[in-house]
């Protein structure tokens, strides 16, 4: 069976961007569910479809019910549904596929590895979509769907998907937090964040070609104590930042001291 | 006076890429000095010029002597030179301009804010070049030079340059280390770093448009304890990584808890 119609459970960042990509690829988004009516309506408007905030009204007749809510909410929503005949897939990095087993006999995972914000559209064609399914048939259905929006579709089991999610937290969420800390420092001294943008682009650009280990530069790698102490004294009135600085510098030094 | 000839002190990452950019812009690199003969020769070959590893042979007749060595080495090299008539500039983020005062009466700072590796060429036209000088005349000379390789030339004093350098450590060196930690995790589980590349590009891409605070996503921001504990248990055998995870997650949560 080819998936042509989708009910979307969730209206957050991932649901919004994935829904837009699927609709653009010609899929019919039959309905959007969200716990809050307003979120459901907003995304439904964007996808020109219907919506509900009541679990009993969720349209289970779609070819696929895609569950794109917070991890803890997956079980909560599914507990309300009678979906034994439905193809179910969740989109979560860290939730094992087997969580779906007790709800239906056709299930899988459809995990797009990307950082999504509602208001920033992304090019889905480059996003790795990690798939898992409880049968070869279901895997094929999900694969056919995934290839309609991305050129990078891979089968990855729940154990490896967890690791991928963890690595993504390091390489995306933590990275963004360091952009934020840099931004804060500049703001405190009336300097513009734009100054850092070429550096941020190049830092990301470098690891497209070099291994991150080989791309490393800066005082911690060289163990340049003068600069490190200088920086720590600049952070004298921000002990939390100084602690992070010390900690991450130590970790960089450990990684490079024998190289 | 317009700077036409340059003696380059140093043959590291920054000296190499800055030297290449200056030569490409039509400047004459008159000589390369490095403490080790081989490094001096390698960069001189690249710039088709002469080289020395002896301080007494450094050519002080160039219009500018650009000191691009490790912070601690600047004073060391200059102490050997009789350069009272020479226009001197250093390229260091954290070294105050006044360090040069006792060596000459024409001095300044020429600080390109970027991460440089010898083997990866960068587009200098986008790099902010932060200038400082001890006189309006010297500032103009350095400005004219800087604009020959970059469209982003700014006057920034030593105190603000230090802050910029510190923010750059957070937004570049620390960021790259988190790419490295992600890479390590994937490698331990036979997963390919390529999987993270679209995510890394998008994470950097987002902050070109959004403030990093607004771009943040992930479990720490939402304080999703299930995922956080899950990740910490995956790191059970790597206490140092678990500690970093905990620490940075706490810092993200602190930043977002009132938003």
Could you tell me the sign of the dihedral formed by the alpha carbons of A109, A114, A115, A118, in that order? negative
User: What is the bridge-based pairing of β-strands B152-155 and A106-112?
Assistant: unpaired
- Give the separation between CA B90 and CA A106, rounded to whole angstroms: 66
**Contact between B167 and A186 using a beta-carbon 8 Å cutoff:** yes
Residue A226 has pLDDT above 80, yes or no: yes
- The residue among A15, A176, A228, A234 with the most chain B CBs within 10 A of its CB, best to mutate, is A176
Residue B17 has pLDDT above 80, yes or no: yes
Confidence of residue A196 (pLDDT cuts 50, 70, 90): very high
The stretch A113-132 carries a mean pLDDT of 95
Size of interface A-B (CB pairs under 8 A): 315
Residues contacting A126, CB < 8 A, separation 6+: A150, A151, A152, B198, B201
Give the whole-number percent of chain B exceeding pLDDT 70: 100
pLDDT tens digits for range A58-92: 999 999 999 999 998 999 999 999 989 899 999 99
Buried-state track A73-89, b at ≥16 Cβ within 10 A, e below 16: bbbebbeebebeebbbb
The stretch B42-52 carries a mean pLDDT of 98
Confidence of residue B258 (pLDDT cuts 50, 70, 90): confident
pLDDT tens digits for range B61-111: 999 999 999 998 999 999 999 989 899 999 999 999 999 999 999 999 999
Residue B126 has pLDDT above 90, yes or no: yes
Main-chain dihedrals φ then ψ at residue A110, nearest 5 degrees: -135, 90
CATH superfamily label, A162-256: ProC-like, C-terminal domain (1.10.1040.20)
Taking CA atoms, A120 is separated from A8, A226, B123, B215, B253, in Å, by 19, 41, 27, 9, 22
The pLDDT of residue A85 is 87
Three-state SS at A158: helix
The stretch B245-250 carries a mean pLDDT of 95
Residue B136 has pLDDT above 80, yes or no: yes
Residues contacting A237, CB < 8 A, separation 6+: none
Residue A160 has pLDDT above 90, yes or no: yes
- The residue among A204, A208, A213, A232 with the most chain B CBs within 10 A of its CB, best to mutate, is A204
Burial class (CB in 10 A: 0-12, 13-18, 19+), A140: middle
Kindly report the three-state secondary structure assignment for every residue of B123-184.
CHHHCEEEEEECCHHHHHHHHHHHHCCCCEEEECCHHHHHHHHHHHHHHHHHHHHHHHHHHH
As beta bridge partners, residue A8 has A32, A66
| Whole-number average pLDDT of chain B | 96
As beta bridge partners, residue A50 has A31
| Structural domain spans, chain B | 5-156, 162-256
Residues contacting B193, CB < 8 A, separation 6+: A207, A211, A212, B182, B183, B186, B187
The stretch A116-129 carries a mean pLDDT of 95
Residue B178 has pLDDT above 90, yes or no: yes
Main-chain dihedrals φ then ψ at residue A189, nearest 5 degrees: -115, 25
The torsion angle over the Cα atoms of residues B59, B63, B69 and B72, rounded to 10 degrees, is: 90
The pLDDT of residue A1 is 84
Burial class (CB in 10 A: 0-12, 13-18, 19+), B57: exposed
As beta bridge partners, residue A67 has A9, A90
Could you tell me the sign of the dihedral formed by the alpha carbons of B92, B94, B97, B99, in that order? negative
Angle between helices A225-234 and B158-168 in degrees, nearest 10: 100
Report how many helices (DSSP H) and strands (DSSP E) chain B contains, helices first.
11, 8
CB contact, 8 Å: A73 with chain B? no
Cβ atoms B10, B33 nearer than 8 A: yes
Q: Looking only at Cα atoms, what is the longest distance across chain B? A: 66
The pLDDT of residue A21 is 98
Of B128, B156, B177, the CB nearest to A198: B128
Residue B121 CB neighbour total at 10 angstroms = 13
Residue B259 has pLDDT above 80, yes or no: no
Residues of chain A with C-beta less than 8 angstroms from the C-beta of B238: none
Residue B20 has pLDDT above 90, yes or no: yes
CB contact, 8 Å: B175 with chain A? yes
Give the whole-number percent of chain A exceeding pLDDT 70: 100
The stretch A173-180 carries a mean pLDDT of 98
Cβ atoms B198, A114 nearer than 8 A: yes
Of A162, A217, A227, the CB nearest to B234: A162
CB contact, 8 Å: A173 with chain B? yes
The stretch B202-227 carries a mean pLDDT of 95
| Distance from the Cα of residue B208 to its chain's centroid | 19
The pLDDT of residue B85 is 87
Question: Which single residue is written with the structure tokens 């030569």?
Answer: B23
Q: What is the ipTM of this complex?
A: 0.96
pLDDT tens digits for range A139-156: 999 999 999 999 999 999
**Contact between A217 and B116 using a beta-carbon 8 Å cutoff:** yes
Residues of chain A with C-beta less than 8 angstroms from the C-beta of B180: 212-213, 216, 255
Confidence of residue B187 (pLDDT cuts 50, 70, 90): very high
Three-state SS at A151: coil
Residues of chain B with C-beta less than 8 angstroms from the C-beta of A195: 113, 128, 154, 164
Fold held by B5-156: Rossmann fold (3.40.50)
């Amino acid at each position: 069976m080819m998936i042509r119609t989708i009910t979307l459970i969730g209206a957050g960042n991932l649901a919004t961007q994935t829904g837009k990509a699927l609709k653009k690829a010609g899929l019919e988004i039959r309905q959007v569910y969200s716990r809050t009516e307003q979120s459901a309506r907003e995304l439904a408007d964007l996808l020109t479809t219907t919506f509900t905030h009541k679990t009993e009204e969720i349209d289970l007749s779609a070819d696929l019910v895609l569950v794109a809510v917070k991890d803890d909410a997956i079980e909560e929503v599914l507990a309300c549904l009678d979906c034994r005949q439905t193809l179910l897939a969740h989109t979560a990095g860290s939730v094992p596929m087997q969580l779906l087993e007790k709800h239906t006999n056709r299930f899988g995972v459809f995990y797009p590895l990307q950082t999504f914000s509602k208001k920033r559209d992304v090019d889905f064609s480059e996003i790795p979509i990690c798939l898992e399914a409880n049968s070869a048939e279901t895997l094929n259905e999900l694969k056919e769907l995934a290839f309609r929006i991305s050129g990078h579709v891979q089968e990855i089991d729940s154990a490896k998907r967890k690791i991928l999610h963890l690595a993504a937290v390091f390489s995306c969420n933590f990275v963004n937090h360091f952009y934020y800390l840099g931004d804060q420092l500049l703001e405190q001294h009336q300097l513009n964040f734009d100054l850092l943008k070429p550096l941020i682009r190049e830092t990301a650009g470098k690891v497209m070609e070099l291994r991150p280990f080989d791309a490393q530069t800066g005082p911690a790698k060289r163990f340049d104590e003068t600069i490190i102490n200088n920086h720590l004294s600049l952070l004298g009135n921000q002990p939390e930042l100084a602690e992070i600085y010390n900690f991450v510098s130590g970790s960089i030094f450990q990684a490079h001291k024998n190289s």
